[in-house]
Structure 1
Amino acid sequence: MAHLLHIDSSARTEGSASRRLSAAYVDAWKNDDPHGTVTYRDLTLDTPAFVSPEWITGVFGPAEAADAATEAAVAASERLIREMEEADVLVLGVPMYNFGVPAAFKAWIDQVMMAGRTFAFGEDGPEGLLKGKRAVVLRASGSDFDDPAMAPMDFHAPYVRGVLGWMGITDVEIIAVNGYTPEQLDSSVRGAGNAISASLGTPARAA
C-alpha cells in the first residue's frame, strides 16, 4: 500500500494557489490509488522550531550535556524524519517568497537534514539515506521563472532539488503556476490539471 506525505507551507491559509494545487494533486493521487494512505502536515499552522542551541547539542553532543530540552528538540526532528521515511511519495506545496522558499519550509528542511538519519558521509562522500522516494513540488509565484529573463533569480527550484537530492530523493518534479492577480493564478491553477494528470500517468479529466 503506497503512502503519501502531503506538506503545505503557504502563509495563506485561504486563497493560496500552492495549497489548491497540492490538494488537487493529492485528490488525483487518491483517486488513482484509492487504497493509498496520506499524512498531512501544515507548516504554517504547525511550524517546526528553528535550529536552537538545544537542537545542536542534542544532535552533535557532547553526550554529557544532554538533558530534557535537548532530547525534546531531537525528538521533534525524529517525528518529521519518520514521516519522510514512511512515505513513498512527497507532495510539497511550496510557494516562492522573495525568490526562495517560505521560512516555514526552510525550518522543516533544517529539522529533517540530519547526518546519520537522512544522509551520511562515507568513504565515497555524502550519501542520501532516503532513496527510492519521489517528490512532487507544487509551486506558485508571481513571475514565470521559466522565462529566461527571470530564471537567474530562481533560487527556489535549485534549492529544493538540492536539499532533497542530498537526502537521496532525486526523482523530483516541479509543477509551477504563476500570476500576479487572483484571476491569473486561478486560471493557471485550473490549467495545471494536465500537468498533474501527466505526473500521475493518468488521462486528463475534463474540468
Structure 2
Amino acid sequence: MPAVPKRKAGPRDAERTRRAILDAALVEFSEKGHAAARMDAVAEAAGISKPMIYSYFGDKDALYAAALREAYVQIREGETELQLGDLAPVEAVRTLVHFTFDHFREKPWFISMLNTENLLGGETVRSIADVGDIQSNMISELSRVLDHGVREGVFRTGVDPVELYITIASLCYFPISNRHTLRAVFKVPVDDAWVEARKRAVSDMVLADLRPCGPREAGHA
C-alpha cells in the first residue's frame, strides 16, 4: 500500500501551533524566569517537538521576547474590548480599574513577566519594535475618556493619561503581586471578597483625584 502523503500545515494550523508555544512559554518564563526556563518544558507543554520552537521563534531569547510582547498584547486587547469610549467617564475609569485588577489576578504571568523583565533591566522590552504602538491605542482611548469627563464637568483638566494609567496599574499591582507577604505580615485574607473591596477602594481613590475639586486642585486654592 502506498504511503499516505503528509498534509502540509495550513495557516490555521500554524497559528494554532504558534499560540500553543506562546501560551506554554508565558507559563514557563513567568514561573521560572528567563535563566531557568527550559525549551524542553515549553515544547512538552505545547505538545510539539523542541525543534519546532526554533522553527517558529528562533532561540530562547527570541521566544522570551515574543512571550513578553504577547503579555502586553493580551492586556491591551482586553482593554480594547471594554469599549471605554462608549461609557460615561466615571464608569469608564471604574471599569478600567476593575479590569486591571482582574487581569493581574487571573493572568498571573503578566506580573511575573514584567517582574522578570525589570530584573533584567528592561533590555528585551526595549528591543520589541512595536511596543509603543501596542500601548498607544489604550492611552489614546484613556485620553478621550478624560476629555469627555472634562466636558461633562466630572474630571479636572490637565490629567496626563499615561500618568493616570501608571497610577491605576500601581494600585492594582501591589495587592496581587505581594499577596503572599500581605497574608503573612498583615493577616489579610486576599480572597474574593477582599479583592472586590480593594477594587472599589482603588476606583474611589482614583476618581476622587480626578474630580474638579479633588485633593490636588484644592491644595492649590
TM-score normalised according to structure 1 size: 0.27
| Greater Rg by CA | 2
Larger relative CO (CA 8 A, sep 6+): 1 or 2?
Answer: 1
- Give the structure with the higher percent helix: 2
Higher strand share: 1
Q: TM-score, normalised by structure 2?
A: 0.26
